[in-house]
Amino acid sequence: MKKILCPIDFSEVSLNALEFAVSIGEKENGSMTLLNIFTPADFNKILKSEHVKEEYDQLMEMAESKLSVIQKEIWNVSKKKGLAAISHELKSGKIVDVLANLANEKNCELIVVGTTGHSSYERKYIGGKTKDIIENTKCSVMCVPENHTYQKIKKIVYATDYQEEDKLAIQQLTDLGLALKAEIEILHVSHHDDTIDKAIYEDFKKELLKFIQYERISINRVVFSNVAEGLDKYMKDQNADLLVLLNKKSNFLKSLFHTSLTQHLDKFTDYPLMILKL
């Protein structure tokens, strides 16, 4: 995950997420792009003014200045810690559309975004658009809850019900684990504690052990009747730092959660959540 896109609106939520993005960029020797978006809602606020163009130019100039300052501050500190490059973009348009287009244009591998509570979804702020960002972008998305301040990622939990795509996902996750020097737990999630599910888990474990090359990986199995609530409790009990789920072609997330994962985002508010997209 060497190409990282981090949208910021200068709110505390987005600047908090930025710390996680910078840390991953440093550890991965990656490049970062900071993005600020002037939205239609922003434009509507100045429409009644007699000096629309002047106010628009002033707002854009202020945003450009803030972005430049943040970029320089990060570069001065992070280039010594491994960050390869950092740039910034100032765009106008709808948040999700601009994000998706820029991520494609720059071949980004990860978007890191701050998230707000479900009641804030209608806000213009980037943090309120998390659901749409996950559903409408092609690269992986890391969601950082508004109340979760930066801390080193020491333990990653990857939850799955075993699909072929898991092998590619775990290889990618192993690279991240190596860069972060983090422990990785692969968690096989079942809805029922029956013989068939146990057999699937044993096959899953044998397959993974054939190609795993990372010493700090463990494989375990759990049974949750309610996956969202079960995973949330598990993360807290294990003091894990990052929950990772794979958005599979087989619609795994919907089958595992019974409904769309994004309907459960408000369950994961105490730690970052990463949605991998291969």
Return the biggest CA–CA distance within the chain. 72
**Residues 136-161, mean pLDDT to the nearest whole number:** 92
Arithmetic mean of pLDDT, 173-186: 96
Nearest to 83 by CA among 141, 25, 4: 25
**CA distance to 185, 252, 267, per residue, from 270 (Å):** 18, 23, 9
Indicate the pLDDT class of residue 228, thresholds 50, 70 and 90: confident
Q: pLDDT tens digit string along 93-116?
A: 999 999 999 999 999 999 999 987
- Render pLDDT for 189-227 as a digit per residue (tens, 0 to 9): 988 888 888 888 998 899 888 888 899 999 999 999 888
The region of weakest confidence among 14-28, 44-58, 142-156 is 44-58
Q: Looking at residue 6, what is its pLDDT?
A: 97
Any idea where the domains of the chain sit in the sequence? 3-145, 155-276
Fold agreement between 3-145 and 155-276: yes
Bridge partner list, 3: 31
Structure tokens at 253: 């997330």
Residues 120-126, mean pLDDT to the nearest whole number: 46
Domain 155-276: CATH class, spelled out = alpha beta
Of 113, 91, 110, 101, the closest CA to residue 43 belongs to 91
- Check whether 122 has a pLDDT greater than 50: no
* Percentage of the chain modeled with pLDDT above 90: 56
Per CATH, is 3-145 categorized as 3.40.50.620? yes
